[in-house]
Chain A
Amino acid sequence: MTIDAWLQAATADAERRGLPELKPLLETLARATTTLRAADFNGHAGGQSSVTSRQSSVDHQSSDSRHQSGDMKS
């Protein structure tokens, strides 16, 4: 099921159950699901494997080459 189709169905179900105030929370969940599905650790039947999960995953940096602050959101 696509995220759009899921959100539409979930919102309709919440309204049917008398919970229209659930809509913004379901939209939040839809955004999180979009992030989750886009992550590169997902393998799929088309042939691409979840390479990331088998790679070394810690990138070291020198003490004086720190990341600058950004506005990355969870």
Chain B
Amino acid sequence: MMTIEQFGRRLRARELTAVRVTEECLRRIEADNPRLNAFILVMADQALQRAREADQELAAGHDRGPLHGVPISIKDLLDCRGVPTTAASRVREGHVADRDAPVIAHLRQAGAVFIGKTNLHEFAFGTTSEDSAFGPVRNPLDPTRSPGGSSGGSAVSVAAGMALATIGTDTGGSIRIPAAACGLVGLKPSLGEVSIEGVVPLSRTLDHVGPLATSVADASLVYHALLGDAHTTPPVPMPIPGLRLAVPRKYFCDLLDDDVRARFEGALERLRIAGAHIDDIEIRHAADIAAVYLHIVLGDSAPYHAATLEAVPEQYTPNVRLRLEMGRYVMAEDYVRALAGRDVLIREVDAAVAQHDALVLPTLPIPAPVLGASSVQIGASTEAVRNVMLRLTQPFNVTGHPAISIPSGRTASGLPCGVQLVGCRMQTDALLKVAVACEPQITDGSQPLSGNVGG
């Protein structure tokens, strides 16, 4: 499999066609989806029809831009007209979207070929993609392990060569976590930049839509298409010498798997050697983040699900049902305290990034966990899988700062790790310029997962 940039060059050089690459994606889905369970709906006929149209348009001189003819998968949480949006739940049986979400309409206009709707943690309320009405999603590197979540099927679709990029959502890390667990780039734009209309909500104040791809440049192209800017170009890298990065050590580096820590420190060292200046900083209220996040996400999710929790509770997966029920017990005064904490955290992260080009920290404290595990050992500490997986990503859902996860090599057992860069609010493009500059040092030349698996 290739990047979107490589695909575009070869498409316009007439070395390949959109139909040929779409057929290759469909072949990989047919071969590997029964094992990996990445897709809930494969849109083969529609995809091939759209690919044929893309080839015809290009032959006639109509070029829609970098996503013209690109096979893209969509998390089954976003409305695509004429097909169901299941949210991986039986609760939504019978639903068919009567219109595109605005981001889907933008992608359609940009010439994307929708290959299918991907599996996820039910209602995006989980980090492992195992609680789904359609069964668990499996990590292509080790099918006994989770691909992360909640956009797990999306990540697997790209990692296994079933699509060139994918659209996910991120309420506590659901783009960046599976990106790290599957060796991909995952971008959570700044809060409010990309429309969440037509997306099944988890928390309207924490939800984001964004891309997962095999490079920062590809993520940037898809991000701009989501905004309706189809004719975009990849970000111009900032010079690394003089780049000012900040590591928030306390809390963010306190609880890391040894292999993850080694990959992170290796990336920092390579960035230093390349000329970046790296400070250590502290986000003073970092230890309060999990409590703030929990009250907001639970409080926000409860009203949307209250009626169906009463009427059809058995149609939820058991774990997600209980998590949603928790939200019905959050007291108003504590929700308001969480909002106050959110304001404090926003100001603290604002102050941290204002004096630097980006924060740099690991994405996931652990490699992809084994499916079904509820706890994980980190050194001498036993931790709940869900808490650990959210630990380093949820802060920037709370604060709204843009964040991108970049692959940072593999553990000794071959599982991917990720490094996260965080930029100023409403400055996702500036973050992308930093990210594209840092990408070679962070990845250290390791190849993205896509193309190494999937047949």
CB distance from A29 to the nearest CB of B (A): 6
Q: Is the CB of A26 within 8 A of B285?
A: no
Q: Is the CB of A57 within 8 A of B285?
A: yes
Q: Is the CB of B329 within 8 A of A39?
A: no
Encode contact with A along B217-261: 1 for CB under 8 Å, 0 otherwise.
000000000000000000000000000000101110111100000
Measured in the bound complex, the distance between the Cα atoms of B311 and A36 in whole Å is: 32
Contacts of B256 on A, CB cut-off 8 Å?
69
Q: Is the CB of A67 within 8 A of B340?
A: no
Q: Is the CB of A32 within 8 A of B294?
A: yes
Contacts of B387 on A, CB cut-off 8 Å?
73-74
Contact A39 to B288, CB < 8 A, known contacts A10-B329, A22-B322, A32-B294: yes
Contacts of B355 on A, CB cut-off 8 Å?
58
Give the residue of A33, A61, A69 whose beta carbon is less than 8 angstroms from that of B280. Answer: A61
Whether, in the assembled complex, A45 has its beta carbon less than 8 Å from a beta carbon of chain B, the answer is no
Q: Is the CB of A26 within 8 A of B326?
A: yes
With both beta carbons as reference points, the residue of chain A lying nearest to B330 in the complex is identified as A29
Q: Which positions 92-118 of chain B face chain A at CB distance < 8 Å?
A: none
Contacts of B255 on A, CB cut-off 8 Å?
69, 71-73
Give the residue of A21, A33, A52, A71 whose beta carbon is less than 8 angstroms from that of B291. Answer: A33
Contact A36 to B288, CB < 8 A, known contacts A10-B329, A41-B344, A57-B348: yes
Give the residue of B247, B326, B329, B351 whose beta carbon is less than 8 angstroms from that of A56. Answer: B351
Q: Is the CB of B323 within 8 A of A39?
A: no
Whether, in the assembled complex, B381 has its beta carbon less than 8 Å from a beta carbon of chain A, the answer is yes
Q: Number of contacting residues on B, CB 8 A?
A: 50
Q: Which positions 29-43 of chain A face chain B at CB distance < 8 Å?
A: 29, 32-33, 35-37, 39, 41-43
Contacts of B165 on A, CB cut-off 8 Å?
none
Measured in the bound complex, the distance between the Cα atoms of B383 and A73 in whole Å is: 9
Measured in the bound complex, the distance between the Cα atoms of B283 and A67 in whole Å is: 13
Whether, in the assembled complex, B337 has its beta carbon less than 8 Å from a beta carbon of chain A, the answer is yes
Q: Number of contacting residues on A, CB 8 A?
A: 40
Give the residue of B278, B294, B337, B383 whose beta carbon is less than 8 angstroms from that of A37. Answer: B337
Contacts of A53 on B, CB cut-off 8 Å?
340, 343-344, 347
Measured in the bound complex, the distance between the Cα atoms of B284 and A67 in whole Å is: 13
Measured in the bound complex, the distance between the Cα atoms of B331 and A37 in whole Å is: 12
Measured in the bound complex, the distance between the Cα atoms of B253 and A22 in whole Å is: 32
Contacts of A21 on B, CB cut-off 8 Å?
322
Q: Is the CB of B253 within 8 A of A67?
A: yes
Measured in the bound complex, the distance between the Cα atoms of B331 and A73 in whole Å is: 23
With both beta carbons as reference points, the residue of chain B lying nearest to A37 in the complex is identified as B337
Q: Is the CB of A29 within 8 A of B294?
A: yes
Whether, in the assembled complex, A65 has its beta carbon less than 8 Å from a beta carbon of chain B, the answer is yes
Whether, in the assembled complex, B352 has its beta carbon less than 8 Å from a beta carbon of chain A, the answer is yes
The 16 sampled A-B contact pairs (Cβ below 8 Å) are A6-B331, A19-B325, A25-B325, A25-B326, A33-B334, A37-B334, A41-B340, A52-B285, A56-B351, A57-B283, A58-B351, A59-B282, A63-B280, A71-B381, A72-B251, A74-B391
Known: A32-B295, A41-B340, A58-B351. 7 other contacts (CB 8 A): A6-B329, A10-B329, A41-B288, A42-B340, A59-B282, A73-B387, A74-B289
